A and B are shown apart, each in its own frame.
Chain A
């Protein structure tokens, strides 16, 4: 009895490491090509749930209006479409402010009440920007849109500039702003909101950003 008690006490102190969510897999996202026939570099990685459908681009995505990739969450006839864009530019002052992206997204609604949208500042993986959530009428359907408009923070931007000796497309892509936008029927987006936020929070550059020491 006494031995059992001692063993029980010894085992009480044991901890278990959190196990990674096996329902997710890491998906690597290619950047934009230069339009000169070169193969685009792998830039981002993100955790995607197994049940999500992934559509990678089959043609050139040099044009920044085309998404880097699309993800679909299908449930019956309804679906949520998640698109990832990035916007490589040559200098910091040419970047599009997150607020401007959000203004553009708001205009995509046919009807959007003033109280039906909100933004909040967010930061993740070295990027800073805004989270956007809105509910309105889009193509005649009650739709919810959630999005992230992110820019690399100044310190990281400078670090990447300082280590880009050749002016490579890869480095330019890594410095680019990115947006993640999820659009779908309100009820469905609400249902999968946590999963979409988890997806957006897992988005990061594949290569670590060098830190100036």
Chain B
């Protein structure tokens, strides 16, 4: 009893009050210094105002004021101003405490034409898990779980364990090409598969020539054998089906490195095995003759060109009877010449390919169809293909300004019979991609906690109002309709200095409008503040405090008189 009395006296006494005031002053001082040093309000808040110790201080004030009031018991009429003042203070502190536990401070994003009733609680961490209903796959169930070391996803067998965390990271999109991850500079296209449960693909152009050519050969519908060009099809028949693109690419690359218009008359290092088995007699006579003629004639032409003699002089020297356009680029002239040769080859008896390597003959056949290493560069757009998209997260040293940090978590997902690890970066606005997990059974996002509020805001129009004859913003406005189960729809305009407030303590402020260009559909950020006790604790508490203070002064004056 003695101890209780001592505690009662101490906690309701002046020394405790002074201790609390000094501690609060130190907190405020630390907060100011931290914020000045880091330029980060979040950082300062994390160590001071948002710290559980600060809430403990407010509880300390509450207890101190309550006990100091009770110490006046039994109350007398002269205590009335004192009691009113202290009740006012208790109500204000109670309101502050209730707001810290039940209040909301967040933001919502609304697009013109759309609406929202979900508030993102900034700088909170949660895991959004979504899964398909096994009986109705089009119905998506979801759970938002505040981030902890171990989390059990409700209504599933899934357990999520946080096994890693980095305070800051850089996100890098990657695409999977033939089992190898390659960085993707810019995300220009995005295809969602099975509502993102099947992951994402992007259209990309692989900037490696070998890959391009291989792609082109694949694009030619190699497997269905419908549209592969005749020389490639002729070559393919003597190659291993799966290895053909690789062999064809290697041969074309080797040919290109010789800087010869046709492959030199020698064995190929890369494809000789397949080339040796080519059966030229299986081709129409015209093609076979054309390849032989071209291989022999172009030997002279290539030698002459290397010696600096013009094509026309070479052809004159060889008494070539047909006309080749002089003005055209050399490559075009050679193509015309090749065409003439293949046309003329139907008129001559069968030529023998003796002394000519198959690589050279094949290169003539390929040239006839315009196929060579450099020709594929022209079809970049056609060669764009879809590749699976992945996100690589690179840990970085965290910035002192906490608002700039982008943390990531490494999670271990466990279901009976399955285990998987996944890394997710923080999606500050909860609007980005959801990543598939456990073979597409789930999709997940690491994001702030999102809470539903009883008010739905619908945005009709947001606008930037400029100063007359200027593009400088004077004000921002947005026309919204607020609907709820308990009030009639309210149409109002939010602006820089005009907030919308509900009787149960919700306040809506306009924070941002993007994009600012005229003629584009706008998206607004509305800051939402919910103080559940404002109207029945905090504001009446303030009134009582004022009343009590006035009465204190009045009583004192009366006493003096």
Q: Once the chains are docked, how many angstroms separate the CA of A155 from the CA of B114?
A: 11
One of B113, B498, B520 near A208 (C-beta < 8 A) = B113
Which residues of A sit under 8 angstroms from B111, Cβ to Cβ?
126, 155-156, 209, 211
- Interface mask (B97-112 → A, CB under 8 Å = 1, otherwise 0): 0000000000000011
Interface centre among A201, A202, A213 (most CB of B within 10 A): A213
One of B479, B498, B522, B546 near A123 (C-beta < 8 A) = B522
Q: Does B399 contact A (CB under 8 A)?
A: no
B550 touches A6 (CB 8 A): yes
B550 touches A208 (CB 8 A): no
B460 touches A204 (CB 8 A): yes
- Interface mask (B538-556 → A, CB under 8 Å = 1, otherwise 0): 0000010010001000000
Q: Once the chains are docked, how many angstroms separate the CA of A209 from the CA of B458?
A: 10
Q: Once the chains are docked, how many angstroms separate the CA of A120 from the CA of B519?
A: 8
Q: Once the chains are docked, how many angstroms separate the CA of A66 from the CA of B209?
A: 57
Q: Does A3 contact B (CB under 8 A)?
A: yes
A20 touches B521 (CB 8 A): no
A124 touches B112 (CB 8 A): yes
B546 touches A126 (CB 8 A): no
25 contacts between A and B (CB under 8 A): A3-B550, A6-B546, A17-B490, A18-B492, A18-B493, A18-B498, A120-B518, A122-B518, A123-B520, A123-B521, A124-B461, A126-B113, A126-B114, A152-B113, A155-B521, A156-B113, A156-B521, A202-B460, A204-B113, A205-B113, A208-B115, A211-B114, A211-B116, A213-B430, A213-B431
Which residues of B sit under 8 angstroms from A124, Cβ to Cβ?
112, 460-461
One of A123, A126, A155, A210 near B519 (C-beta < 8 A) = A123
B519 touches A121 (CB 8 A): yes
B520 touches A10 (CB 8 A): no
B451-475 at interface with A (beta carbon < 8 Å): 458, 460-461
- Interface mask (B74-102 → A, CB under 8 Å = 1, otherwise 0): 00000000000000000000000000000
Which residues of A sit under 8 angstroms from B546, Cβ to Cβ?
6, 10
Q: Does A178 contact B (CB under 8 A)?
A: no
B521 touches A126 (CB 8 A): yes
- Interface mask (B466-510 → A, CB under 8 Å = 1, otherwise 0): 000000000000010000000000111100001011000000000
List 17 extra interface pairs beyond A3-B550, A130-B519, CB under 8 A.
Answer: A2-B550, A6-B550, A17-B501, A121-B520, A122-B519, A123-B519, A126-B112, A126-B113, A127-B113, A128-B519, A153-B113, A155-B521, A156-B113, A201-B461, A202-B460, A209-B113, A211-B115
Minimal beta-carbon separation of A99 from chain B (angstroms) = 12
B550 touches A128 (CB 8 A): no
One of B431, B500, B521 near A128 (C-beta < 8 A) = B521
B500, closest chain A residue (CB):
A17
A17, closest chain B residue (CB):
B492
Which residues of A sit under 8 angstroms from B520, Cβ to Cβ?
121, 123, 128, 153
Q: Once the chains are docked, how many angstroms separate the CA of A126 from the CA of B431?
A: 18
Minimal beta-carbon separation of A199 from chain B (angstroms) = 13
B300-347 at interface with A (beta carbon < 8 Å): none
Which residues of A sit under 8 angstroms from B113, Cβ to Cβ?
125-127, 152-153, 156, 204-205, 208-209
Q: Mostly helix, strand, loop or mixed at chain A's interface?
A: mixed
Which residues of B sit under 8 angstroms from A201, Cβ to Cβ?
460-461, 479
With contacts A17-B492, A202-B460 taken as known, whether A209 is within 8 angstroms of B114 at the C-beta atoms is: yes
Which residues of B sit under 8 angstroms from A208, Cβ to Cβ?
113-115, 458
Which residues of A sit under 8 angstroms from B460, Cβ to Cβ?
124-125, 201-202, 204
Q: Once the chains are docked, how many angstroms separate the CA of A127 from the CA of B519?
A: 9
A153 touches B492 (CB 8 A): no
Q: Once the chains are docked, how many angstroms separate the CA of A125 from the CA of B116?
A: 14
Q: Once the chains are docked, how many angstroms separate the CA of A32 from the CA of B125?
A: 48
B114 touches A123 (CB 8 A): no
A79-129 at interface with B (beta carbon < 8 Å): 120-129
B430, closest chain A residue (CB):
A213
Q: Once the chains are docked, how many angstroms separate the CA of A209 from the CA of B521?
A: 13
Q: Once the chains are docked, how many angstroms separate the CA of A17 from the CA of B458?
A: 18
- Interface mask (A3-14 → B, CB under 8 Å = 1, otherwise 0): 100100010000
Which residues of A sit under 8 angstroms from B522, Cβ to Cβ?
123
A183-213 at interface with B (beta carbon < 8 Å): 201-202, 204-205, 208-211, 213
B112 touches A125 (CB 8 A): yes
Minimal beta-carbon separation of B554 from chain A (angstroms) = 8
Minimal beta-carbon separation of B112 from chain A (angstroms) = 5
B517, closest chain A residue (CB):
A121
Minimal beta-carbon separation of A5 from chain B (angstroms) = 10
Minimal beta-carbon separation of B352 from chain A (angstroms) = 58
B521, closest chain A residue (CB):
A153
Q: Once the chains are docked, how many angstroms separate the CA of A182 from the CA of B337?
A: 68
Which residues of A sit under 8 angstroms from B431, Cβ to Cβ?
213
A201, closest chain B residue (CB):
B461
B518 touches A121 (CB 8 A): yes
